[in-house]
Protein backbone atom coordinates (compact mmCIF):
# COMPACT_ATOMS: atom_id res chain seq x y z
CA UNK A 1 0.00 0.00 0.00
CA UNK A 2 1.33 3.40 -0.88
CA UNK A 3 1.23 6.27 1.63
CA UNK A 4 -1.48 8.91 1.31
CA UNK A 5 -0.15 11.76 -0.80
CA UNK A 6 1.14 14.67 1.26
CA UNK A 7 -0.61 17.96 0.58
CA UNK A 8 1.51 20.20 -1.59
CA UNK A 9 3.81 22.67 0.20
CA UNK A 10 1.65 25.69 -0.70
CA UNK A 11 -1.46 24.10 0.84
CA UNK A 12 0.37 23.31 4.05
CA UNK A 13 1.70 26.86 4.23
CA UNK A 14 -1.77 28.28 3.65
CA UNK A 15 -3.21 25.98 6.32
CA UNK A 16 -0.64 26.99 8.91
CA UNK A 17 -1.14 30.66 8.09
CA UNK A 18 -4.87 30.16 8.57
CA UNK A 19 -4.28 28.47 11.91
CA UNK A 20 -2.13 31.40 13.07
CA UNK A 21 -4.85 33.86 12.00
CA UNK A 22 -7.52 31.86 13.81
CA UNK A 23 -5.45 31.83 17.00
CA UNK A 24 -4.90 35.55 16.72
CA UNK A 25 -8.64 36.14 16.21
CA UNK A 26 -9.46 34.06 19.30
CA UNK A 27 -6.87 35.98 21.36
CA UNK A 28 -8.44 39.27 20.19
CA UNK A 29 -11.87 38.01 21.14
CA UNK A 30 -10.68 37.11 24.62
CA UNK A 31 -9.34 40.65 25.06
CA UNK A 32 -12.71 42.02 23.90
CA UNK A 33 -14.48 39.95 26.55
CA UNK A 34 -11.96 40.93 29.24
CA UNK A 35 -12.25 44.64 28.41
CA UNK A 36 -16.07 44.48 28.10
CA UNK A 37 -16.07 45.52 24.45
CA UNK A 38 -18.42 42.58 23.91
CA UNK A 39 -20.71 40.72 26.28
CA UNK A 40 -20.07 37.00 26.88
CA UNK A 41 -23.63 36.34 25.68
CA UNK A 42 -22.94 38.03 22.32
CA UNK A 43 -19.88 35.79 21.88
CA UNK A 44 -22.01 32.75 22.61
CA UNK A 45 -24.55 33.93 20.02
CA UNK A 46 -21.80 34.31 17.43
CA UNK A 47 -20.48 30.84 18.24
CA UNK A 48 -23.93 29.35 17.74
CA UNK A 49 -24.49 31.20 14.47
CA UNK A 50 -21.09 30.13 13.09
CA UNK A 51 -19.27 27.28 14.88
CA UNK A 52 -16.24 27.79 12.59
CA UNK A 53 -15.79 31.45 13.58
CA UNK A 54 -13.28 32.68 16.19
CA UNK A 55 -16.10 32.56 18.77
CA UNK A 56 -17.20 29.09 17.69
CA UNK A 57 -13.70 27.60 17.93
CA UNK A 58 -12.92 29.15 21.32
CA UNK A 59 -12.62 26.52 24.04
CA UNK A 60 -15.18 26.96 26.83
CA UNK A 61 -12.58 27.14 29.65
CA UNK A 62 -10.73 29.92 27.82
CA UNK A 63 -14.00 31.73 27.20
CA UNK A 64 -14.81 31.58 30.92
CA UNK A 65 -11.45 32.83 32.18
CA UNK A 66 -11.60 35.76 29.74
CA UNK A 67 -14.63 37.04 31.69
CA UNK A 68 -13.53 39.52 34.38
CA UNK A 69 -13.60 37.98 37.87
CA UNK A 70 -13.43 34.34 36.74
CA UNK A 71 -10.22 32.58 37.71
CA UNK A 72 -9.15 28.95 37.28
CA UNK A 73 -10.94 27.69 40.40
CA UNK A 74 -14.24 29.31 39.55
CA UNK A 75 -13.92 28.17 35.94
CA UNK A 76 -13.59 24.53 36.98
CA UNK A 77 -16.57 24.76 39.33
CA UNK A 78 -18.72 26.30 36.59
CA UNK A 79 -17.74 23.59 34.10
CA UNK A 80 -18.56 20.88 36.62
CA UNK A 81 -21.88 22.48 37.62
CA UNK A 82 -22.96 22.87 34.01
CA UNK A 83 -21.67 19.44 33.02
CA UNK A 84 -19.44 20.81 30.25
CA UNK A 85 -16.23 18.98 29.35
CA UNK A 86 -13.12 21.24 29.37
CA UNK A 87 -12.22 20.20 25.83
CA UNK A 88 -15.47 21.59 24.43
CA UNK A 89 -15.46 24.54 22.09
CA UNK A 90 -18.22 27.15 22.31
CA UNK A 91 -19.57 26.29 18.87
CA UNK A 92 -19.64 22.57 19.71
CA UNK A 93 -21.94 22.78 22.73
CA UNK A 94 -25.16 20.81 22.64
CA UNK A 95 -28.44 22.73 22.94
CA UNK A 96 -28.93 21.90 26.60
CA UNK A 97 -25.37 22.85 27.61
CA UNK A 98 -25.65 26.07 25.63
CA UNK A 99 -28.92 26.98 27.35
CA UNK A 100 -27.39 26.18 30.74
CA UNK A 101 -24.36 28.38 29.99
CA UNK A 102 -26.53 31.21 28.70
CA UNK A 103 -28.81 31.00 31.73
CA UNK A 104 -25.81 31.10 34.03
CA UNK A 105 -24.33 34.13 32.24
CA UNK A 106 -27.68 35.97 32.29
CA UNK A 107 -27.91 35.44 36.01
CA UNK A 108 -24.36 36.61 36.82
CA UNK A 109 -23.81 39.23 34.10
CA UNK A 110 -27.17 40.38 32.78
CA UNK A 111 -26.78 42.12 29.43
CA UNK A 112 -27.73 45.79 29.63
CA UNK A 113 -31.19 46.26 28.12
CA UNK A 114 -31.66 49.25 25.80
CA UNK A 115 -33.94 51.72 27.59
CA UNK A 116 -36.53 53.47 25.45
CA UNK A 117 -35.69 57.05 24.56
CA UNK A 118 -37.83 59.59 26.41
CA UNK A 119 -36.77 62.88 24.90
CA UNK A 120 -35.04 64.22 21.81
CA UNK A 121 -31.98 65.14 23.87
CA UNK A 122 -29.24 62.59 23.25
CA UNK A 123 -25.80 62.51 24.81
CA UNK A 124 -23.04 60.74 22.90
CA UNK A 125 -20.15 59.59 25.08
CA UNK A 126 -17.69 56.73 25.15
CA UNK A 127 -14.08 55.87 25.84
CA UNK A 128 -11.23 58.11 24.76
CA UNK A 129 -10.36 57.72 21.05
CA UNK A 130 -13.49 55.75 20.17
CA UNK A 131 -14.39 58.33 17.52
CA UNK A 132 -17.22 60.36 19.12
CA UNK A 133 -15.98 63.53 17.47
CA UNK A 134 -15.95 61.90 14.02
CA UNK A 135 -19.46 60.50 14.44
CA UNK A 136 -20.72 63.89 15.66
CA UNK A 137 -19.02 65.67 12.74
CA UNK A 138 -20.66 63.24 10.32
CA UNK A 139 -24.08 63.99 11.83
CA UNK A 140 -23.42 67.73 11.60
CA UNK A 141 -22.60 67.31 7.92
CA UNK A 142 -25.39 64.93 6.88
CA UNK A 143 -28.28 65.67 9.24
CA UNK A 144 -28.84 69.41 9.41
CA UNK A 145 -32.13 68.81 11.26
CA UNK A 146 -30.15 67.70 14.31
CA UNK A 147 -28.94 70.49 16.54
CA UNK A 148 -25.41 69.78 17.58
CA UNK A 149 -24.67 71.56 20.82
CA UNK A 150 -21.66 73.89 20.67
CA UNK A 151 -19.66 73.70 23.89
CA UNK A 152 -17.69 76.42 25.58
CA UNK A 153 -14.05 75.61 26.25
CA UNK A 154 -11.02 77.26 27.77
CA UNK A 155 -8.63 75.50 25.39
CA UNK A 156 -7.07 77.26 22.41
CA UNK A 157 -8.57 76.69 18.94
CA UNK A 158 -6.79 74.17 16.74
CA UNK A 159 -6.05 75.02 13.13
CA UNK A 160 -9.30 75.00 11.15
CA UNK A 161 -11.58 75.31 14.20
CA UNK A 162 -14.14 78.08 14.00
CA UNK A 163 -15.38 80.01 17.04
CA UNK A 164 -19.12 79.45 17.44
CA UNK A 165 -19.12 76.41 15.15
CA UNK A 166 -16.80 73.87 16.77
CA UNK A 167 -16.60 75.55 20.18
CA UNK A 168 -17.08 78.87 21.86
CA UNK A 169 -13.50 79.63 22.82
CA UNK A 170 -13.56 81.55 26.08
CA UNK A 171 -11.00 82.58 28.68
CA UNK A 172 -10.97 81.36 32.30
CA UNK A 173 -12.79 84.46 33.58
CA UNK A 174 -15.60 84.10 31.06
CA UNK A 175 -15.94 80.39 31.88
CA UNK A 176 -16.14 81.25 35.61
CA UNK A 177 -18.86 83.77 34.82
CA UNK A 178 -20.89 81.20 32.85
CA UNK A 179 -20.64 78.71 35.72
CA UNK A 180 -21.60 81.33 38.32
CA UNK A 181 -24.62 82.43 36.27
CA UNK A 182 -25.87 78.87 35.87
CA UNK A 183 -25.55 79.15 32.11
CA UNK A 184 -24.07 75.66 31.72
CA UNK A 185 -26.11 72.48 31.75
CA UNK A 186 -22.93 70.63 32.76
CA UNK A 187 -19.23 71.25 32.74
CA UNK A 188 -16.05 69.30 33.44
CA UNK A 189 -12.29 69.53 33.40
CA UNK A 190 -11.28 67.07 30.68
CA UNK A 191 -7.93 65.20 30.65
CA UNK A 192 -7.01 67.22 33.74
CA UNK A 193 -6.34 70.35 31.70
CA UNK A 194 -9.05 72.51 30.15
CA UNK A 195 -12.65 73.12 31.09
CA UNK A 196 -15.52 72.31 28.74
CA UNK A 197 -19.21 73.03 29.27
CA UNK A 198 -22.59 72.84 27.52
CA UNK A 199 -24.51 76.12 27.24
CA UNK A 200 -28.03 75.55 28.51
CA UNK A 201 -30.06 78.16 26.57
CA UNK A 202 -29.85 76.80 22.99
CA UNK A 203 -30.64 73.29 24.22
CA UNK A 204 -33.70 74.34 26.21
CA UNK A 205 -35.03 76.18 23.17
CA UNK A 206 -34.39 73.30 20.74
CA UNK A 207 -35.92 70.67 23.06
CA UNK A 208 -38.98 72.89 23.62
CA UNK A 209 -39.38 73.06 19.83
CA UNK A 210 -39.13 69.23 19.60
CA UNK A 211 -35.89 69.42 17.65
CA UNK A 212 -33.39 66.57 18.10
CA UNK A 213 -30.35 67.74 20.05
CA UNK A 214 -27.00 65.96 20.26
CA UNK A 215 -24.34 66.55 22.90
CA UNK A 216 -20.90 65.08 22.27
CA UNK A 217 -19.24 65.31 25.64
CA UNK A 218 -17.08 63.30 28.01
CA UNK A 219 -18.42 60.69 30.43
CA UNK A 220 -18.44 62.90 33.54
CA UNK A 221 -20.52 65.40 31.58
CA UNK A 222 -22.92 62.69 30.41
CA UNK A 223 -23.76 61.70 33.99
CA UNK A 224 -24.24 65.34 34.99
CA UNK A 225 -26.72 65.80 32.15
CA UNK A 226 -28.68 62.80 33.39
CA UNK A 227 -28.90 64.40 36.82
CA UNK A 228 -30.27 67.68 35.57
CA UNK A 229 -32.25 66.24 32.61
CA UNK A 230 -33.36 62.74 33.62
CA UNK A 231 -35.20 62.31 30.32
CA UNK A 232 -32.02 62.63 28.26
CA UNK A 233 -30.83 59.44 26.55
CA UNK A 234 -27.23 58.45 27.12
CA UNK A 235 -25.56 56.66 24.23
CA UNK A 236 -22.30 54.81 24.70
CA UNK A 237 -20.13 54.51 21.62
CA UNK A 238 -18.16 51.25 21.57
CA UNK A 239 -15.07 50.42 19.52
CA UNK A 240 -15.38 47.41 17.17
CA UNK A 241 -12.70 45.69 19.27
CA UNK A 242 -10.30 46.37 22.11
CA UNK A 243 -7.32 46.01 19.74
CA UNK A 244 -8.81 48.64 17.46
CA UNK A 245 -9.24 51.06 20.37
CA UNK A 246 -5.65 50.44 21.48
CA UNK A 247 -4.31 51.15 18.02
CA UNK A 248 -6.39 54.35 17.78
CA UNK A 249 -5.21 55.38 21.24
CA UNK A 250 -1.53 54.70 20.84
CA UNK A 251 -1.30 54.74 17.06
CA UNK A 252 -0.35 58.36 16.85
CA UNK A 253 2.87 57.47 18.66
CA UNK A 254 3.09 60.93 20.17
CA UNK A 255 2.73 59.82 23.80
CA UNK A 256 5.37 58.22 25.99
CA UNK A 257 4.95 54.77 27.58
CA UNK A 258 3.54 56.11 30.84
CA UNK A 259 0.96 58.29 29.11
CA UNK A 260 -0.08 55.39 26.88
CA UNK A 261 -0.55 53.12 29.90
CA UNK A 262 -2.59 55.83 31.63
CA UNK A 263 -4.87 56.22 28.59
CA UNK A 264 -5.40 52.47 28.33
CA UNK A 265 -6.35 52.30 32.01
CA UNK A 266 -8.79 55.16 31.52
CA UNK A 267 -10.33 53.45 28.48
CA UNK A 268 -10.76 50.22 30.43
CA UNK A 269 -12.50 52.06 33.30
CA UNK A 270 -14.69 53.93 30.84
CA UNK A 271 -15.76 50.69 29.16
CA UNK A 272 -16.62 49.26 32.56
CA UNK A 273 -19.14 52.11 33.05
CA UNK A 274 -21.17 51.33 29.92
CA UNK A 275 -23.87 49.57 31.95
CA UNK A 276 -24.99 53.02 33.14
CA UNK A 277 -25.92 54.06 29.61
CA UNK A 278 -29.29 53.71 27.87
CA UNK A 279 -27.96 52.50 24.51
CA UNK A 280 -24.80 51.12 23.02
CA UNK A 281 -23.69 51.79 19.44
CA UNK A 282 -20.63 50.11 17.90
CA UNK A 283 -18.46 52.42 15.83
CA UNK A 284 -17.60 49.83 13.19
CA UNK A 285 -17.98 52.42 10.46
CA UNK A 286 -18.86 56.07 10.95
CA UNK A 287 -21.93 56.45 8.64
CA UNK A 288 -23.63 53.39 10.18
CA UNK A 289 -22.92 54.46 13.75
CA UNK A 290 -24.12 58.01 12.94
CA UNK A 291 -27.34 56.64 11.43
CA UNK A 292 -28.04 54.57 14.52
CA UNK A 293 -27.66 57.64 16.73
CA UNK A 294 -29.94 59.69 14.46
CA UNK A 295 -32.57 56.91 14.35
CA UNK A 296 -32.61 56.93 18.11
CA UNK A 297 -33.20 60.68 18.24
CA UNK A 298 -35.99 60.45 15.71
CA UNK A 299 -37.65 57.58 17.54
CA UNK A 300 -37.70 59.61 20.74
CA UNK A 301 -38.90 62.80 19.03
CA UNK A 302 -42.05 60.99 17.82
Chain residues in the site for ligand 5GP (CB under 6 A): 132, 151, 155, 186, 188, 190, 196-198, 216-218, 220-221
Burial profile 202-212: b = 16 or more Cβ within 10 angstroms, e = fewer: ebeebbeeebb
Nearest approach, Cβ of residue 261 and ligand 5GP (Å): 19
Q: What is the dihedral of CA 256, 258, 262, 265, to 10 degrees?
A: 110
Query: Is 55 or 125 the residue whose CB approaches ligand 5GP more closely?
Result: 125
Nearest approach, Cβ of residue 169 and ligand 5GP (Å): 11
Q: Which residue is at the shortest CB distance from ligand 5GP?
A: 221
Query: Is 91 or 221 the residue whose CB approaches ligand 5GP more closely?
Result: 221
Nearest approach, Cβ of residue 186 and ligand 5GP (Å): 6
Query: Is 105 or 207 the residue whose CB approaches ligand 5GP more closely?
Result: 207
Nearest approach, Cβ of residue 162 and ligand 5GP (Å): 13
Other residues' Cβ atoms within 10 Å of the Cβ of residue 163: 11
Whole-number Å distance between alpha carbons of 197 and 180: 13
Strands, DSSP E only, in 130-232? 147-148, 151-153, 167-169, 184-190, 194-199, 213-216
Query: Is 32 or 270 the residue whose CB approaches ligand 5GP more closely?
Result: 270
Query: Is 89 or 280 the residue whose CB approaches ligand 5GP more closely?
Result: 280
Nearest approach, Cβ of residue 165 and ligand 5GP (Å): 12
For the chain, first and last CA: distance in Å?
A: 76
Whole-number Å distance between alpha carbons of 238 and 87: 32
Amino acid sequence: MSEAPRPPEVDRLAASRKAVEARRARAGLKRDIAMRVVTPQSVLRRATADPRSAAGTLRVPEFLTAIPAIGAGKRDRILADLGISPVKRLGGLGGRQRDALRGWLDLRWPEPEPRPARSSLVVLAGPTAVGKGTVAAYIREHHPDVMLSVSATTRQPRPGEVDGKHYFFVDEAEFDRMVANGELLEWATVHGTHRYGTPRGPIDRAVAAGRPVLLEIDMQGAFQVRQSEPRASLVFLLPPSWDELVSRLVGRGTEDEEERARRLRTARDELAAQGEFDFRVVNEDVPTAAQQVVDLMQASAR
